[in-house]
Amino acid sequence: MAAVDSSPDEAPKPKSRLALLLGLGLALLLGGGGFFLTYSGLLLGAGGADHAETAKSAAPTAAFVPLDPVMISLGTAGQNRHLRLVAQLEVPQAKAAEVTHLTPRILDVINAYLRAVEVARLEEPAALVRIRGHLLSRIQLVTGEGMVDDLLITEFLIN
């Protein structure tokens, strides 16, 4: 019987790197071609400079109705802590005058909600997002459907 001479010190022959280089080159070529087709608008419709013009023409005209700053005292009288909120309402251009007329009701809703929120909940990291959502839904109830698109909080300060 003949013994098979296989020593563990021998390294296997490296495979040809040609396949690796061909795969990498093909991936770069296909990626670049896909980018060009998408950017030029040939693949998914309008792209590049045409996309910016389409976005401008499709964007609805919005008006911003500023709200008076709201200052709420927090906690008990001895603590002397306050919350200051400054916000604007994003409304359709045609509805701006109607929403401006309703700002006293909107401010009433904001004051009532903020006074009911516990101080500990106001200091949480996600408080602003949650409060914004609650206020927006209440404001939309007061103003009616289609009157207010968004609530933009420009200042939220607890001192």
pTM of the full structure: 0.61
pLDDT in the model for residue 21? 87
Q: Are residues 77 and 146 in the same domain?
A: yes
Which positions ≥6 away from 22 have C-beta within 8 Å?
none
Q: Are residues 41 and 84 in the same domain?
A: no
Residue 43 or residue 41, greater confidence: 41
Q: Are residues 78 and 53 in the same domain?
A: no
The gap from C-alpha 48 to its chain's centroid, in whole angstroms, comes to 23
Q: Are residues 103 and 27 in the same domain?
A: no
Joined tokens for residue 143: 């103003």
Mean pLDDT over 108-114 rounds to: 95
> Over 90: is that where the pLDDT of 37 sits?
no
Residue 75 or residue 22, greater confidence: 22
- CATH code for the domain of 122: 3.30.479
pLDDT one-digit tens code per residue, 124-152 = 888 999 999 999 999 999 999 999 999 99
Which positions ≥6 away from 146 have C-beta within 8 Å?
92, 95
